[in-house]
Amino acid sequence: MSATTAPEVESPETPEVDSDVVIETRNLGKVYRDFWGRKKVAALKALDIEVKKGEIFGLLGPNGSGKSTTIKLIQGLLFPTSGRAFVFGKEARDVTKNERIGYLPEESYLYKFLNAEETLDFYGRLFDMPAEVRRERSDKLIRMVGLNNARRRQLREYSKGMTRRIGLAQALINEPDLLILDEPTTGMDPIGSREMKDLIIRLRDEGKTILLCSHQLADVQDVCDRVAILHLGELRELGRVDELLKVRDVTEVHAKGLSDELKGKIAELIRNEGGEVVTIDNPTTTMEELFLDIVQDDRPGSRPSAT
Amino acid sequence: MRIEENQMWGYFEWLIFKFGLLQGVLVVFALALLGFIACYLVAMARYGPSEGFYHVTRVIYELLARDLPGTSFNRVYALGKLAFQEAIRRRVLVIMAVFIVGLLFAGWFLDPSSENVARLYISFVMTGTSYLILLLGLFLSCFSLPADIKSKTVQTITTKPVRPTEIILGRILGFTAVGTMLILVMGILSYIFVVRGVVHDHGVKDVSADGRLGSTTVDARHTHSFEMVPGEDGNYAEGTTDEQKGHRHVVTVREVNGEKTYEIGPPQGLLEARIPVFGELTIFDRGGNPTMRGLNVGYESEYQSYIEGNSLMAAEWTFDNVYPARFSGGDTLPIEMSLKAFRTLKGDIVTGVQGEIILRNPNGRIESERRPFVVKEFSVDHIEIPRKLPGSQDGVPREVDIFDDLVSEDGQLQVVVRCTDGGQYLGMAVADLYLRAGNANFGWNMFKGFLGIWMQMVLIICLGVMFSTFLSGPVAMVATLTSLMLGFFGGLALDVASGDAPGGGPIESLIRIPMQTGAMVDLDLGNPVLENTVKAIDTGIMYTLVTLFQAIPSFGQFNTADFVAYGFNIFGGLVARHLTMTFAYFVLTSVIAYFFLKTRELAAA
């Protein structure tokens, strides 16, 4: 085995981590291998990110960019080929960290033969919660996600949007400090999507940390404080959303009640000073443009493979 | 049916004196060592030598220091309940319907005119239950975890604070609960089916003029004749019928208004759970000296060994703890035997081979008179010896009392059997003659028989869950089935591995095939060094194989249905031993399953 893929020897003691940092990855990498140990795909290369307490952090990237791999590595569902990941200062493979995490998977992987109440009761039990707390919280959550009328129906009868809602309720059953959301708005109608985003922001305001991964650019733009943009397993951009979206060579002037005459004068002034008037309207760049700009060079499928 | 000597052992006798505990510890130790080496080799190939070692020890450390102490009853309960619900909603109760339909139509393929209806019915229900339950356990346990991994529901579970131990225990306990429920219902239905199918009444058909002899009506496809015994006043008050299909009835006479009515009671001897008291068997050779085995009359793996008629050969059973209280007061000493006869001449073919039985005090001074008997082959001969009988002390004839004179101070009694037909042979094994200490409750015995099925089911579930932690559903099923078959038919494999089978170990046997040497001659390669090397390697291979085979539960031994069917009480010691072994396998498979689950990437496609 080559030295580059072997992880560094892990020390059993918990590392020194800033208490403000909720998630930390150090040089985190994952190579998928086939049965014989041959390298198939390098899904994630040397990722270093820090998610701080109380922020909404977005992982953004096209299909196959390593978003889900990152989330699974952080939760210990996959084992890293190199580097390490820490959550609340604990190793990703330490299950006790899960006490404080709520996870909404990409598609709500729930037991279809249970109904909403049984589902929440079951997941509540997994947190060793006493019976009254389970009952009280599942009742509250079922109302919150708007499934009060369907609480005794088996999940197999649920629509996709309803499944997302019960999935969200399941992720909140332990009142987590960290919420990991994989594509939270897929399958939701515009109203549901709006509600989800409002909820995410509300939870942030309550002091919770949220890691969400999405390719719904509008969602990310709407709710995230900071984003990391992944492409082909590499980190391409990392920063505050407002910073990233700032079009640095365009100046935006907001003014009210300008007459057309005054607008003409301003335009003339700019020209006289050597500037160029692009438009007098408000400029908007969007997440979408930024995103396409980053990923346009190559599309998935051209991913390098080491066979 | 034959009761093996090892089945008579008491629990602590097995655990300590027969090295049950030691054997278990050795198997665990050997498996742990082999497992560690195997895991280390895999880890070394993946991470390199020093780091591989670190990875292996870390998993062991985490099991002992984190996951085991962190295992919570509440979570195991939740996961167990989920497995239970999953099974129920996958409609396993259909199994119940299949079983009931089987019982309803049992009459089509069970012969009610069979010689022993009870045995037939009991075998049928117990075999039916075990097939259904074992198949169910197999399917439930092998497919559940792989299905969860495939549907990714396991990801929602493992992102909660759930330990791998809890996933494994929850699965095993949940499926066991489903199976237990089904076995309980099937057991109750079986009991009703057997009792209702066997219990019958007769009426009186005709009685002789003096009221001594009579016959019954035909019920349940047979009829009895009966004989009344005169009471103290000379009137016929009570009698018994002859034995038909393994049972008798008690006949009583009641006089109502000067008219005699005969009443025939329920069948006796049909649904029994005989409590045998087994002894230790010593055979005496032709010179009258104790020997290991008697004569071999020509069958290679004969269970019985034979004594020759009209010679000094004898079989002597020594029984412990013979007290009147064990034999319902001790008015008589019931002895039951099922000896075999081997004839070298036709002789008196009508009477059969004859023998004699003598009760003796172990001090050799007091013995009873010789009691002749004719061997009843293929059935159990029941002899009631009265407490007081003619005998002798130091050769002087006197009346002896079984419990006062023949039983020694420490409760021992010897029973000696000889064959009195010259040229004929009597065959016996240790279980073929026993003192009969009353009856246990038949229902309770049947419960213990079903407990045997339950333990087999638990073993299958444990194996299935273990294999499903690293194999896909169908492959896990094949793996479980393979261990099941090895367990059922592993006797030969174990014989080869332990060197009991002639011909040496695997390599030696392989050399013998092309060389066409017989299995009984020593290996001759013309080079002692080569021979010894082959044998040394074989010993290593065989030692490993024995360990592996012993780690596979031999399912056959948990099957105690024959005890129930043949009317023997299942000994408590045997049940306790089986329960201990089941628990040991449960722990062993759980630990192996833990290591596989812990080191598996559950989100990998």
Is residue A302 situated within a structural domain?
no
In terms of CA atoms, which chain B residue is nearest residue A110? B153
Residues A29 and A50 in one domain: yes
| Cβ within 8 Å, pair A98-B601 | no
Chain B environment of A105 (Cβ under 8 Å): 152, 155-156, 159
Residues A190 and A265 in one domain: no
Number of domains chain B is built from: 3
Determine the average pLDDT of the residues in B220-234.
Answer: 83
Contact B602/A at CB under 8 A: yes
| Single residue among B439, B455, B481 that ends a domain in this structure | B439
Whether the predicted pLDDT of A72 surpasses 80: yes
Is residue B605 situated within a structural domain?
no
Residues A156 and A258 in one domain: no
Alpha-carbon span B225 to A302, nearest angstrom: 95
| Cβ within 8 Å, pair B74-A76 | no
Determine the average pLDDT of the residues in B20-30.
Answer: 83
Size of interface A-B (CB pairs under 8 A): 93
> For the segment B64-113, what is each residue's pLDDT rounded down to a tens digit?
888 888 888 999 999 999 999 988 888 888 888 888 888 888 877 787 77
Can you give the pLDDT at residue A249?
Answer: 66
Alpha-carbon span A260 to A242, nearest angstrom: 30
Residues B306 and B426 in one domain: yes
Residues A277 and A168 in one domain: no
- Higher per-residue confidence, B285 vs A249: B285
Residues A101 and A155 in one domain: yes
Let me know: does B424 contact B347? Beta carbons within 8 Å. Answer: yes
Number of domains chain A is built from: 2
Determine the average pLDDT of the residues in B41-64.
Answer: 86
Report the 10 Å Cβ neighbour count for B529: 8
Residues A260 and A159 in one domain: no
Residues A26 and A130 in one domain: yes
What are the distances in angstroms from CA B3 to CA B8, B20, B278, B562, B566? 8, 19, 10, 9, 11
Nearest to A211 by CA among A21, A23, A18, A66: A23
Is residue A183 situated within a structural domain?
yes
| Cβ within 8 Å, pair B161-A127 | yes
Nearest to A216 by CA among A108, A63, A51, A43: A63
Is residue B269 situated within a structural domain?
no
Let me know: does A199 contact A212? Beta carbons within 8 Å. Answer: no
Residues B280 and B258 in one domain: no
Alpha-carbon span B29 to B91, nearest angstrom: 41
How many residues are recorded in chain A?
A: 307
**pLDDT band per the 50, 70, 90 thresholds, residue A306:** very low
> For the segment B299-342, what is each residue's pLDDT rounded down to a tens digit?
655 678 899 988 999 999 999 888 888 888 778 899 999 888 88
Helix (H) and strand (E) counts in chain B: 16, 22
| Cβ within 8 Å, pair B160-A127 | yes
Which residue, chain included where needed, has tokens 């709520």? A102
Is residue A51 situated within a structural domain?
yes
Residues B461 and B566 in one domain: yes
Residues B423 and B288 in one domain: yes
Alpha-carbon span A54 to B344, nearest angstrom: 97
Domain containing A275: what range?
251-284
Residues B221 and B291 in one domain: no
Residues A197 and A83 in one domain: yes
- CATH value at residue A193: 3.40.50.300
Residues B545 and B512 in one domain: yes
Is residue A13 situated within a structural domain?
no
Residues B430 and B560 in one domain: no
Chain A environment of B65 (Cβ under 8 Å): none
Single-letter amino acid, residue A216: Q
Cβ neighbors of A274 (< 8 A, separation 6 or more) are none
Alpha-carbon span B2 to B565, nearest angstrom: 12
Interface test with chain B among A31, A125, A170, by most B beta carbons within 10 Å? A125
In terms of CA atoms, which chain A residue is nearest residue B598? A93
Q: What are phi and psi of A204, to 5 degrees?
A: -60, -45
- CATH value at residue B293: 2.60.120
End-to-end CA distance of chain B: 52
| Cβ within 8 Å, pair B160-A72 | no
Can you state the angle between helices B49-62 and B20-47, rounded to 10 degrees? 130
Residues of A with CB under 8 A from a CB of B: 1, 6-7, 9, 12, 32, 37, 72, 75-79, 94-96, 98-99, 101, 103, 105, 107-111, 113-114, 118, 122-123, 125-128, 170, 174
**pLDDT band per the 50, 70, 90 thresholds, residue A8:** very low
Q: What are phi and psi of B25, to 5 degrees?
A: -65, -40
For the stretch A243-277, what's the b/e string if a residue is b when 16 or more beta carbons lie within 10 angstroms of its beta carbon?
A: ebbeeeeeeeeeeeeeeeeeeeeeeeebeeeeeee
**pLDDT band per the 50, 70, 90 thresholds, residue A162:** confident
Q: How buried is residue A127: exposed, middle or buried, by Cβ count under 10 Å (0-12/13-18/19+)?
A: buried
**pLDDT band per the 50, 70, 90 thresholds, residue B375:** confident
Residues A113 and A262 in one domain: no
For the whole model, what pTM was predicted? 0.83
Token digits for B121?
A: 């019915």
Contact B83/A at CB under 8 A: no
Whether the predicted pLDDT of B171 surpasses 90: yes
Residues A230 and A260 in one domain: no
Is residue A11 situated within a structural domain?
no
Chain B environment of A32 (Cβ under 8 Å): 604
Residues A233 and A165 in one domain: yes
What DSSP state is assigned to residue B111? Answer: -
Whether the predicted pLDDT of B490 surpasses 90: no
Chain A environment of B157 (Cβ under 8 Å): 126
**pLDDT band per the 50, 70, 90 thresholds, residue A10:** very low
End-to-end CA distance of chain A: 14
Domain containing B252: what range?
204-264
Let me know: does B431 contact B562? Beta carbons within 8 Å. Answer: no
What are the distances in angstroms from CA B464 to CA B159, B168, B458? 24, 11, 10
Residues A48 and A75 in one domain: yes
Can you give the pLDDT at residue A122?
Answer: 92
Nearest to B136 by CA among B205, B191, B90: B90
Nearest to A172 by CA among A222, A208, A223: A208
In terms of CA atoms, which chain B residue is nearest residue A103? B159
Alpha-carbon span B508 to A146, nearest angstrom: 74
Residues B383 and B464 in one domain: no
Per residue, the 3-state secondary structure of B257-297, as one string, reads: CCEEEEEECCCECCCCCEEEECCEEEEECCCCCEECCCECC
| Cβ within 8 Å, pair B601-A9 | no
| Single residue among B439, B458, B479 that ends a domain in this structure | B439
Is residue B161 situated within a structural domain?
yes
**pLDDT band per the 50, 70, 90 thresholds, residue A281:** low
User: B187: distance to nearest CA of chain A, Å?
Assistant: 29
Whether the predicted pLDDT of A256 surpasses 90: no
DSSP string, B415-448: EEEEE-STTEEEEE-GGGEEEEEEE--HHHHHHH
| Cβ within 8 Å, pair B48-A12 | no
Is residue B22 situated within a structural domain?
yes
Which residue, chain included where needed, has tokens 């479980």? B480
- Higher per-residue confidence, B154 vs B500: B154
Contact B75/A at CB under 8 A: yes
**What is the ipTM for the molecules in this complex?**
0.78
Determine the average pLDDT of the residues in A125-140.
Answer: 91
> For the segment B106-161, what is each residue's pLDDT rounded down to a tens digit?
877 787 777 788 888 899 999 999 999 999 999 999 998 998 888 888 888 888 99
Q: Where on the phi/psi map is residue A64: left (φ > 0), alpha (ψ -120 to 50), or beta?
A: left
Let me know: does B551 contact B31? Beta carbons within 8 Å. Answer: yes
Residues B76 and B127 in one domain: yes
- Higher per-residue confidence, B198 vs A251: B198
| Cβ within 8 Å, pair B153-A79 | no
| Single residue among B439, B466, B488 that ends a domain in this structure | B439
Is residue B603 situated within a structural domain?
no
Q: Where on the phi/psi map is residue B374: left (φ > 0), alpha (ψ -120 to 50), or beta?
A: beta
- Higher per-residue confidence, B27 vs B529: B529
Whether the predicted pLDDT of B551 surpasses 50: yes
Q: Percent of chain A beyond pLDDT 70?
A: 82
Chain B environment of A78 (Cβ under 8 Å): 601, 603-604
What DSSP state is assigned to residue A130? Answer: -
**pLDDT band per the 50, 70, 90 thresholds, residue B605:** low
